[in-house]
Amino acid sequence: MSVRVALAGLGWAGRELWLPLLREHGGFEVVAAVDADPVARAAFGEATGIAVHPAVDALTAGAVDLAVVAVPNHLHVEVAGALLAAGIPVFLEKPVCLTSAEADILAAAERGGGMLLAGSAARYRGDVQALGRVVPDLGDVRHVDLAWVRARGVPRPGGWFTRRDRAGGGALLDLGWHLLDTLAFLLGPARVTQVAGVTSDDFVNLDAWRAAWRRDRSGAVAADVEDTARGFLVRDDGVSVSLRTGWASHEARDVSLIRVEGSAGTAELRCTFGFSPNREPEPVLTVTREGTTTRLAVPAEEIGVEYRRQLDALAAMLADPGNRGRAVAAARPIVHVIENFYASARSARARRAEPAFQ
């Protein structure tokens, strides 16, 4: 029997990503949608024949089995919290929340209502899973390099994605959440005790650096988020982590890099996360020991297959009451790192602005 799904949010992610995936998957049936924009509702209803509502209060636990929330970041907690309070299970992709206080709100809503499920698709990639199988052979892990740097991939300036009051942040929050979730998948969760980071915004307001694959319309409001973040973290298990995210750069291609250094060897995965067409030709996974580098086989996969795998896992997660509380527990250390990273970046900017001693 198919899981009856309501899709909350008809922006790019809702229309172009989740709707096709859900409709193609045999385990789900999209029975309703929600969006506050009457134009979006009318176009969606005409194109799909699916019932569309202006607010989530039109949904009931008796009519839908799951709500997939694809609204702007600043509405995640409001929309997901209302659905959970109504007893409707919710799937919420990254970022689960923007602050630790929002994590508390979601935890309270889940305790009194539906179950919250969340995830980041990168851990479902075949190359990331292949890297995960290698990590135990590296001995004691000492350091990890995490990077996701696009050549040209800035979301539409002036859209909600590049407004701090609606997105919560820029490239760090957008791309960094995937990287930090992947780190937890590879090494297990751990508290980060030290964070130092800086941000910059050299590209975010220049049209030449936009993400062409999103097909966004030009915006009229200047972006006020970072397009690049660089930082250094230390986990409470002693592992150090360098983190770099960038919506744009002077690189030729969009590259995602994970490098795990251990006492018995180093493993490196070079690939491209996400949907950009300007990507690495194929993922490359290598292991280096005592000066010898060996390339390991990784599966050749079509772009976006990790999202279908995420849906494959979702039905089983929904059926397991033991997953209650896990989404918030996994989100807390990630949002904690991001909060502290931005605090460090603000402090660095303030110090640069101070007048030099005469």
| 113 and 129 in a common domain | no
Question: What was the pLDDT predicted at 157?
Answer: 74
pTM of the model: 0.94
Domain ranges, residue 225: 122-307
Instruction: Give 186-211 pLDDT, tens digit per residue.
Output: 999 999 999 999 999 999 999 889 88
The whole-number pLDDT of residue 272 equals 97
Q: What letters, b where the CB count within 10 A reaches 16 and e where it falls short, cover 264-302? A: ebbbbbbbbbbbbebbeeebebebeeeeeeeeeebeeee
Q: What is the per-residue pLDDT across 277-320, written as a single tens digit (0 to 9) for each?
A: 999 999 999 999 999 999 999 988 999 999 999 999 999 999 99
pLDDT at residue 4 greater than cutoff 60: yes
Asked if the structure places residue 169 within a domain, the reply is: yes
DSSP per-residue letters across 206-241: -GGGB-GGG-PPP-SS---S-SEEEEEEEETTS-EE
Which pLDDT band, with edges at 50, 70 and 90, does 212 fall under?
low
How many domains is the chain partitioned into structurally?
2
Specify if 102 maps to a domain: yes
Residue 340: count of CB within 10 angstroms of its CB: 18
156 is written with which tokens?
A: 């539409």
CATH of the domain at 96: 3.40.50.720
Say if residue 116 is in the same domain as residue 177.
no
Identify whether residues 187 and 112 lie together within a single domain.
Answer: no
Please check whether residue 263 lies inside any domain of the structure: yes
